[in-house]
């Protein structure tokens, strides 16, 4: 293996330390404590773990954490009423509704009912439009984390050729917009892209976000390229015992690491940055709400 490992877990610690410093200054200089409200509907096990982790890290950086756990059969009207209450609560600067929602709830309607200035997930249609037109917005956490790591590794991204594999609203599309904003030449590739391997081979930066285990092999990667693997896939691991599994990314790590200049591992790469950037977005939202300077290094 020749590639430098981009340690997302260590970088996320650095981001959280920056957030904690900004929170402390907001309290000391302005008597303001940023607050993050997380809404969980139902008892999805993965969502419960994620929400607990968010709450724990929110408190650790000195912010207020407000958790709202609702029954799986909560009506749309009741959920929207809660969001309206949070929209109008000055102590709440960030609102996150944990996805996926139960099938009887309209996710688009729910997300678009959040005050865009408190939409720390960056999914509201207004924030999507602002990001797409290069204006100040709340930026989705996972792409923001990827951008932070790329900036940290390369410094300037200007003029670099970037390929984003995946066109989701959560990662692929906003990732492309952020890279354009940093003056990359950007291609969004996907399952219908003709000669996908050749498209990927020309890239200085490859961001893989397709949700297919180890789809991108090393021979798709240009020598010295930087590979950001957003995928988190659980596959069978018979070598660990019957019924055991392991996590892999969308990139075949071993073969890609042999040719790439730098690469994120799975786990321990992009994943830890997502919650760190959620905290960063909450601080940013708090500063904007109070007419204060935004924290440097924590926004796009």
Write down the catalytic residue from 18, 57, 119, 121: 121
Phi/psi at 218 (5° precision)? -60, -30
Active site residue 240: no
Closest CA to 271 of 245, 250, 300, 299: 250
Active site residue 121: yes
Phi-psi region of 95 (alpha: psi -120 to 50; beta: other; left: phi over 0): beta
Write down the catalytic residue from 54, 118, 173, 222: 54
Active site residue 54: yes
Write down the catalytic residue from 98, 115, 204, 250: 98
Q: Which residues have a catalytic role annotated? A: 54, 98, 121
């Amino acid at each position: 293996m020749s590639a430098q490992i981009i340690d997302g877990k260590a970088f996320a610690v650095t981001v959280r330390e920056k957030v904690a410093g900004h929170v402390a200054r907001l309290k000391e200089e302005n008597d303001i404590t940023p607050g993050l409200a997380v809404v969980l509907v139902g008892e999805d096990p993965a969502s419960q773990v994620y929400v607990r982790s968010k709450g724990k890290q929110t408190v650790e950086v000195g912010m207020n954490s407000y958790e709202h756990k609702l029954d799986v059969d909560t009506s749309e009207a009741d959920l929207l009423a809660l969001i309206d209450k949070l929209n109008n609560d000055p102590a709440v600067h960030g609102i996150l509704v944990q996805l996926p929602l139960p099938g009887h709830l309209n996710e688009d309607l729910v997300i678009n009912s959040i005050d865009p200035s408190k939409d720390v997930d960056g999914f509201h249609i207004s924030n999507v439009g602002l990001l797409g037109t290069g204006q100040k917005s709340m930026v989705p956490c996972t792409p923001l984390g990827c951008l932070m790591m790329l900036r940290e590794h390369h410094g300037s991204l200007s003029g670099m050729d970037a390929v984003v594999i995946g066109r989701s609203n959560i990662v692929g599309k906003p990732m492309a917009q952020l890279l354009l904003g940093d003056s990359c030449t950007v291609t969004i590739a996907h399952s219908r892209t003709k000669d996908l391997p050749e498209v990927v081979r020309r890239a200085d930066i490859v961001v893989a976000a397709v949700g297919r285990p180890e789809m991108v092999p090393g021979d798709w990667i240009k020598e010295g390229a930087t590979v950001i693997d957003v995928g988190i896939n659980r596959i069978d691991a018979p070598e660990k015992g019957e019924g055991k599994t392991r996590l892999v990314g969308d990139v075949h790590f071993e073969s890609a690491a042999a040719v790439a200049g730098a690469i994120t591992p799975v786990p321990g790469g992009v994943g830890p940055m997502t919650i760190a950037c959620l905290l960063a977005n909450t601080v940013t939202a708090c500063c904007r709400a109070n007419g204060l300077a935004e924290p440097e290094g924590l926004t796009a």
